[in-house]
Amino acid sequence: MGKITVETCEIEGLKVITPTVFGDARGYFMETYNYNDYREAGIDQEFVQDNQSASVKGVLRGLHFQINYPQDKLVRVLSGEVYDVAVDLRPGSATYGKWFGVLLSAENKKQFFVPKNFAHGFYVLSDHAEFAYKCTDFYHPNDEGGIIWNDPAIGVEWPIPAGTQPILSDKDTRHGGLDAFTRQYRS
């Protein structure tokens, strides 16, 4: 191994990955994904779809999940900087409803592995950010779920400057909270 460093998080299953970067005066080289290294690190998933998005400063996307076709995700930032968050929605988990956040940037080149049955979202800190992620299942447009980004029952500490509001999609303003999710999907 040696090409990646994997940090476990206080919520079981979440992992922050830092690749080895080889740099010199010309620039740098790194492997963004190598199945053998990830399998050795305990991430033995088959990724079937890659996605990429671009957002401007202040955009908050999330908190999203797939209902019947949950996805493991391996996320990273290609340009800019985001605060990335995962919320544990696994039935019976000791950390159900708890969140973890990590700063991902083009500069730190960290990746975040988010297992199935977590809600996921991010907030853009830089003027512009490009975000890429690998998924273990295909996107099913009729299978989208979400939890409101500012649910006090979860209490995500987003790094949103005082006196500002995040830029949200119309869809992301209509999500319910953790209690509604629990009643609808976990009862």
CATH (domain of 158): 2.60.120.10
Question: Active-site residue 128, yes or no?
Answer: no
Asked, for residue 34, whether it belongs to a domain, the answer is: no
The mean pLDDT values, 10 residues at a time, for the chain of 187 residues are 85 96 93 94 96 98 96 98 98 96 98 98 98 96 95 98 97 96 79
The one catalytic residue among 38, 83, 123, 133: 133
Reading the block at residue 5, the tokens are 């460093």
Host domain of residue 136? 50-185
Asked, for residue 12, whether it belongs to a domain, the answer is: no
Asked, for residue 172, whether it belongs to a domain, the answer is: yes
Q: How close are the terminal C-alpha atoms of the chain, in Å?
A: 43
Question: Active-site residue 175, yes or no?
Answer: no
Residue 79, SS3? strand
* pLDDT score at 61: 98
* pLDDT score at 187: 61
The CA distance from 83 to 105, in Å, is: 9
pLDDT by residue (tens digit) across 71-123? 999 999 999 999 999 999 999 999 999 999 999 999 999 999 999 999 999 99
Asked, for residue 70, whether it belongs to a domain, the answer is: yes
The one catalytic residue among 64, 83, 120, 175: 64
Burial of 58 (0-12, 13-18, 19+ CB in 10 A): middle
Asked, for residue 108, whether it belongs to a domain, the answer is: yes
Number of domains in the chain: 1
From residue 75, give the alpha-carbon distance in Å to each of 13, 106, 185. Answer: 14, 12, 25
